[in-house]
Amino acid sequence: MTESGGRHVKVGPVTSQTTLSAGEDEVVDALLALSRVFVGMAARSLASLDDDVTLQQFRTLVVLVAHGPQRVVDLAQELAVTSSTATRMCNRLVRKGLVAREERPEDRRAAWVILTARGRELVGEVMRHRRETIATLVADLYLTRPLALAATLGALIEAAGELPEPQWRQRWEHPPAATTGTYDQLNHA
């Protein structure tokens, strides 16, 4: 188990010695194939934007929606990149107007990275596109036990340390005032 951004993520090292049952091995293979589907879907949803945003930059925006303003060092840890890589990525996102930096009175040494109104709109656009695409796939499946599948996927999401979709969507649609920062307030004025 590792700690990431104040959350505990139940992910351990994967080795050739990891023993899985035949059924578990099939689940891993299916999830690997599904991850390729979702990466392709993510890439297509980003390619449809007017903004030139990479997958890693978009992940940064998603982390900011889920966890609110972050110091660059905390973002780096959450994204599993070096601080210098996170700094360069944030610089690009600042230039694109998707995030801003803000000093906090309680910690003037560190700049906090804040999602701007434009960044929040971009995340919403991408997530709406993805939801429509996934809904089309699900509708074509004719699932016999959709709630059982949803519960299984929910357990996987929890094990990975991610927010369930309803919680994530709530944070995107209605961010607490303390997480939007002064830059965002200026954008809405």
Tell me whether strands 107-115 and 99-104 are parallel, antiparallel or unpaired. antiparallel
Q: Are 10 and 161 in contact (CB under 8 A)?
A: yes
DSSP element (H, E) containing 3: strand 2-4
Angle formed by the axes of helices 117-139 and 22-47, to 10°? 130
Domains parsed from the chain with CATH numbers: 25-175 (1.10.10.10)
Q: Which residues contact 63 (CB under 8 A, 6 or more apart)?
A: 5, 70, 75, 78, 79
DSSP conformation class of 114: E
pLDDT per position in the chain (189 positions), as tens? 344 444 444 455 555 667 888 888 888 888 899 999 999 998 888 888 878 899 999 999 999 998 899 999 999 999 999 999 999 999 999 999 999 999 877 777 788 999 999 999 999 999 999 999 999 988 888 888 888 888 999 999 898 888 888 888 888 788 766 444 444 443 443
Angle formed by the axes of helices 72-79 and 83-95, to 10°? 110
Q: Can you say whether residue 5 is alpha, beta or left, with left for phi > 0 and alpha for psi between -120 and 50 degrees?
A: left
Q: Are 188 and 117 in contact (CB under 8 A)?
A: yes
Beta bridge partners of 114: 100
The token pair that represents 168 in the structure block: 């994530």
The token pair that represents 150 in the structure block: 């949803």
